[in-house]
C-alpha cells in the first residue's frame, strides 16, 4: 500500500498547529485559572501547571513540519529514480531535486495552481503524476508543447514536420548512444540495437494545456506514445539536479555524480 506522503504531511502540520494554537488561546488559560487561588505567583514559570504531553509534542513538531511543508510544496522536493526509462541521463537509484515553482506555485495535495510562473519548455526533464491514476510520480523529457504535431517513425522524431537533430555518438551494445537537440537543450539518448523501429510509432497532436513526453531510453520507456499527453494540472515540477547516486542497496551512497540535468 502506497502512503500519500504529501497528504500525511499536510494533516500532521495542520493537526499539530491547531493543537498548539488551541492551547495558546484557550487551554493554557484554563490550566492557569485552575491553580490554587492561594498561590500568589500564578504567572511564575516554575509554578505554572505542566503542559499535557500532546500539547508539548505539537508545540515541538509544528515549526519543523511547517518548514518541511513549505519547502517541499513550494520550493524543492527530492525524488529517487526507480527505473531505467531516462537512461543515460538518469540512472536507476539517482536522487534528484525538483524545482516546485518553475511551472507555477501549486497547493499541496490538491495541485491547484495559485500563481503562474513559466510553462514547460521543449527539452525540460519534468516530473508529473501519471495520467492514468493521477497519483504515481513519473519523470520524462518534454518533447511536444500545446499545439505541436508529433511524429515518430523508424526511431526518428519529427516536430511540426521538422526532423529533430539526432547525431550518432557511440555503439555501446546493446545500446546505441545518440545526442539529440530539443529546442535549446542538447541531451543524450539510448536506442536499443537490433530492435525494430515500429515500437511506439505514430502521430499525435498535442491538445491545449497538455504536453507530450518521452523517455531518453527511447525503446524502453512507457510514455506519451502509449498513454497520451500530460495535462498541466498533473505537473509536479522541473528536475534540475542529481544530488546523490545510490549504486546498490548494499553499497554506500556515492556523491561523485552531483550535477545539473541537461
Residues annotated as catalytic (active site), given as ranges:
85, 140
* Strand ranges in 49-192 using DSSP code E only, listed in sequence order: 76-80, 94-99, 105-106, 113-115, 125-129, 137-144, 149-153, 156-159, 162-163, 166-172, 175-182, 185-192
Q: What angle do CA 91, 254, 185 make, to 5 degrees?
A: 40
Q: How far is 221 from 226, CA to CA, in rounded Å?
A: 9
Cell digits of residue 162: 521538422
Give the C-alpha separation, 78 to 5, whole Å. 12
Distance CA 256, CA 94 (A): 11
Amino acid at each position: 500500500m502506497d502512503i500519500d506522503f504529501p497528504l500525511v504531511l499536510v494533516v500532521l502540520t495542520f493537526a499539530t498547529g491547531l493543537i498548539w494554537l488551541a492551547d495558546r488561546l484557550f487551554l493554557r488559560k484554563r490550566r492557569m485559572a485552575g491553580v490554587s487561588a492561594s498561590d500568589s505567583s500564578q504567572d511564575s514559570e516554575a509554578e505554572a501547571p505542566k503542559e499535557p504531553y500532546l500539547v508539548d509534542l505539537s508545540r515541538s513538531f509544528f515549526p519543523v513540519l511547517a518548514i518541511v511543508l513549505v519547502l517541499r510544496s513550494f520550493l524543492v522536493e527530492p525524488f529517487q529514480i526507480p527505473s531505467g526509462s531516462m537512461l543515460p541521463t538518469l540512472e536507476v537509484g539517482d536522487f534528484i531535486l525538483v524545482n516546485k515553482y518553475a511551472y507555477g506555485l501549486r497547493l499541496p495535495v490538491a495541485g491547484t495552481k495559485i500563481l503562474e510562473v513559466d510553462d514547460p519548455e521543449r527539452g525540460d526533464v519534468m516530473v508529473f503524476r501519471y495520467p492514468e491514476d493521477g497519483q504515481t510520480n513519473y519523470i520524462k523529457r518534454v518533447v511536444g508543447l500545446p499545439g505541436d504535431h508529433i511524429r515518430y517513425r523508424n526511431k526518428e522524431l519529427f516536430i511540426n514536420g521538422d526532423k529533430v537533430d539526432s547525431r550518432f555518438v557511440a555503439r555501446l551494445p546493446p545500446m546505441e548512444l545518440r545526442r539529440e537537440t530539443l529546442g535549446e537543450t542538447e541531451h543524450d539518448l539510448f536506442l536499443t540495437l537490433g530492435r525494430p523501429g515500429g515500437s511506439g510509432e505514430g502521430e499525435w497532436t498535442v491538445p491545449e494545456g497538455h504536453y507530450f513526453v518521452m523517455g531518453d531510453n527511447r525503446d524502453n520507456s512507457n510514455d506519451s506514445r502509449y498513454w497520451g499527453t500530460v495535462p498541466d494540472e498533473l505537473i509536479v515540477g522541473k528536475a534540475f539536479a542529481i544530488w546523490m547516486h545510490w549504486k546498490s542497496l548494499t553499497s554506500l551512497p556515492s556523491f561523485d555524480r552531483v550535477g545539473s540535468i541537461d
